[in-house]
Structure 1
Amino acid sequence: MFKKFEVSGNNQVKSSVARGVRAAVCEQYPWLDQNGVLEVLLPKKEPMFVAKCPGYMQVAIVHGTPVFFSEREGHWFPTMRVLHQYPDMMPKLRTDAGAIKFVLSGANIMCPGLTSPGATMHDEVPEGAAVAIYAEGKEHAMAVGLTKLSTAQMREVNKGVAVELMHHLNDGLWKTHSIA
């Protein structure tokens, strides 16, 4: 999604829009609210900016730092930096070691990469869920994505795309530390 990170517009949003983003993030990631992290990431009293990017992407920015992104009117996903700070915020899937180079190149995750020896489905998730992608033998997440099948279907079918990759280490959004 973010081979290159280009911003076509960056505007401060009205408080009602910021509340909507907070509510959507809170609904998708209840762990953040339960642990008091939501106020740290998306403070109510701080201005929020939303950067519009090519491909109908938008990025929520607080204190000049990208924190969440979404396809317009879709799921909100944490940036990798946020996910590394709060790894328990979303369900986890772990690929086998053979999938690492493909994922870091921006490829979608295939079912065999999640069902083979060395891979683990830590959490049971439905189709259309936002998930963190980890690699066999690695401590930190390497990507975030959207499941195309439930974990039960992944085991049953064991072919085709399991997770659509949204953001990964070393892509354009990862390389962007701050936006003025």
Structure 2
Amino acid sequence: MPLVVPGVTIDNMGGDKTQEWMNKLAGKLLCDGPSTETTFCKTDLPQTTRVIEPGMMVTRDFNPDRLNVHVGKDGIVSHPPPTSLHGSPKQKLKSSIQRSIRNSILSTYPLITPHIDEVLPKKSSLELVKLPDRVSLYVIDGHPIVYQQDNNGVLLPHLKLVHRFPQCFPTIRIDRGAIRFVLSGATLMAPGLTSPGGRLPIPVPNEGVDEDGHWSRELEKGEPVVVMAEGKEEAAAVGVLVMGTKDIKEKGKGPVMEEAHYLGDGLWRLSVE
């Protein structure tokens, strides 16, 4: 559920092809040298590619075969000019639905139990905002709380809720080198977690986070997780694991999280007041 498509727009190609180029380029430095894990050679781009730099004037003519790649001042593929995410008007939910969501939050994230009345004040009403791609965002008193894709999807915490209660959610930590990729919407890969700057769970009896940032139990494929970043205090992303943490340790490669809500994306910028 990429709520903002980073740096790459292709007019006539399907979503799968767009996603393919996004994964290749997001967060990488365009250069004249060979392509590596952190760079992408300009000569490997399609012939019809247009590289758009900050402040650059571009024509609005339609070219169905053109690949537009937006880069920052440092030459790294970045977000295109911000696009707004628009949701439906807020809808008040029935009491039974509010209770169901409350119970789901408590069962999925038990460490938030001591704070649940602060998260969901009893005198306030939970409201629904419908977003593109069948995403439902639940808000209360103008604060985004959780969201889910499809009605039967797992409830994921909005990053603004995570920043308020950072110790209440399962976490993994990426190294410094992976930060720009995650914040560009690229697929999170295992090496960003298994390097010295990364952190994966170390099972201990009491659930929570230790002083070194290790979560206390192994996380399974399909579980929600918060992505912390080396050297940063606040979480960078939230998503669902496509590989369990035990497998990440054993294999050391492959995708870990393919779609995420991350700092600066459309969901982060959406105003729900």
After TM superposition, the score normalised by the length of structure 2 is: 0.62
Counterpart amino acid of residue 28 in structure 1: T
Whether 1:15 and 2:95 are equivalent positions in the alignment is: yes
Q: Secondary structure at the match of 1:49?
A: strand
Q: Distance in 2 between matches of 1:75 and 1:164?
A: 15
Deviation at 1:173, TM superposition (A): 1.7
Deviation at 1:9, TM superposition (A): 4.8
Counterpart amino acid of residue 59 in structure 1: L
Equivalent residues of 1:9, 1:53 under 8 A apart: no
Whether 1:148 and 2:233 are equivalent positions in the alignment is: no
Whether 1:135 and 2:229 are equivalent positions in the alignment is: yes
Counterpart amino acid of residue 118 in structure 1: G
Superposed CA RMSD: 1.4
Q: Secondary structure at the match of 2:258?
A: strand
Counterpart amino acid of residue 90 in structure 1: F
Q: Distance in 1 between matches of 2:257 and 2:169?
A: 14
After the TM superposition, which of the residue ranges 53-62 and 5-14 deviates more from structure 2? 5-14
Q: Distance in 1 between matches of 2:104 and 2:263?
A: 24
Q: How many residues align?
A: 177
Whether 1:103 and 2:216 are equivalent positions in the alignment is: no
Q: Secondary structure at the match of 1:120?
A: coil
Q: Render the CA deviation track for 1:121-169: whole Å, top value 9, x for unaligned.
A: 1222111111111111111111111111111101112222112332111
As a proportion of its length, which structure holds more strand?
A: 1
Whether 1:60 and 2:138 are equivalent positions in the alignment is: yes
Larger relative contact order (Cα-Cα within 8 Å, sequence gap ≥ 6): 1
As a proportion of its length, which structure holds more helix?
A: 1
Equivalent residues of 1:148, 1:163 under 8 A apart: yes
Q: Distance in 2 between matches of 1:38 and 1:107?
A: 32
The equivalent of 1:49 in structure 2 is 127
After the TM superposition, which of the residue ranges 97-106 and 164-173 deviates more from structure 2? 164-173
Whether 1:158 and 2:238 are equivalent positions in the alignment is: no
Deviation at 1:81, TM superposition (A): 1.1
Q: Render the CA deviation track for 1:6-29: whole Å, top value 9, x for unaligned.
A: 213531111111111111111101
Deviation at 1:83, TM superposition (A): 0.5
Decide which of 101, 112, 125 is 2:219's aligned counterpart: 125
Decide which of 154, 160, 171 is 1:81's aligned counterpart: 160
Whether 1:31 and 2:111 are equivalent positions in the alignment is: yes
Equivalent residues of 1:51, 1:61 under 8 A apart: yes
The equivalent of 1:115 in structure 2 is 194
Equivalent residues of 1:61, 1:68 under 8 A apart: yes
Q: Distance in 2 between matches of 1:108 and 1:68?
A: 22
Equivalent residues of 1:8, 1:54 under 8 A apart: no
Work out the percentage of aligned pairs sharing the same amino acid. Answer: 37
Deviation at 1:44, TM superposition (A): 3.2
Q: Secondary structure at the match of 2:133?
A: coil
Q: How does 1:163-174 map to 2 (within 5 A)?
A: 163-174=257-268
- Unmatched 5+ stretches in structure 1: none
Whether 1:71 and 2:149 are equivalent positions in the alignment is: yes
Moved over 3 A (4+): none
